[in-house]
Amino acid sequence: MFHHAGGSSLSFLKLAKSLSATYEVWLAELPGRGVRHHEAAPSSLRDFARAASREIPGDLPLSFYGHSMGAGLAYEAALALEEEGRALKRLVVSCCRPPAAGHGPALLRERPYEEWTDEELLRAMASYGPIPAALREPAGREYFLPLFRLDLTLIREYQSAALTLKSPILAVAGRGDAEVRPAVMQGWREYTEGSFQLLTEEGGHFCVLEKPAFLAGLFERLAAASVVA
């Protein structure tokens, strides 16, 4: 599982704990935060995704899941895996534009990130949904805003190879997501040679993280379907 911009592996903790023993959950963590807070930030999203793919054991049936920025990371890790001749059972992406469609809020494209004020960063966050409670306090802003600023920079510099995967893709969209509408998520269909399915859920950009039971149920159904197959 690959987390969103400004997030960490803790973003998926509730989901990971709610899954049955059918899954062994591996939570990716970008350097510079969480348990990797003492490490230098990655040079690029693609470099991190490729490094992450090399850490995953080769004898396991794998499914990758990524939310928002994490969906791009999951896609790049899946590409790296296939280049090594390893099979991915499924790529699951939520609330993220297709790789070559451009990413990040409008603010990202207006001027260099060095010029953004904290208030502008908060407005950029608010375009995706309610501001997290932690960011209403000075200590929370001091910790999280630099991470968000860094991640937006990585997103701005991300250039996708826009290659097609062999593995099937399941896309999940929030019906009320103003930044990444369900119709935009349909574009992921062009990135797989296998099957494609789009599911929609009530809510905005973070609907899936706000409803871990929805995602947990989805993954359990996918596991059951795999067993039957």
Please report the pLDDT score of residue 229 as a whole number: 30
What pLDDT score does 228 carry? 34
**pLDDT of 178:** 85
Write the pLDDT tens digit of every residue in 213-229: 888 888 888 887 754 33
Specify the pLDDT at position 143.
83
Tokens of 226: 């795999």
pLDDT tens, residue by residue, 177-209: 988 999 999 999 999 999 999 999 999 988 888
Interatomic CA distance for residues 195 and 211, integer angstroms: 25
Measure CA of the first residue to CA of the last residue in the chain; give whole Å: 24
CB 94, CB 155: distance < 8 Å:
no
Q: Are strands 169-174 and 63-67 parallel, antiparallel or unpaired?
A: unpaired
User: What per-residue confidence (pLDDT) applies to 227?
Assistant: 42
Q: d(Cα 222, Cα 219) in Å, to the nearest integer?
A: 5
Residue burial 132-157, b: 16+ Cβ < 10 Å; e: rest: eeebeeeeebeebbbbbbbbbbbbee
User: Domain 9-102+162-228, what architecture?
Assistant: 3-Layer(aba) Sandwich (3.40)
Residues (pLDDT < 50) of the chain are 227-229
Q: Environment class of residue 49 by beta-carbon count within 10 Å: exposed (0-12), middle (13-18) or buried (19+)?
A: buried
Domain positions in the chain: 9-102+162-228
| pLDDT for residue 111 | 67
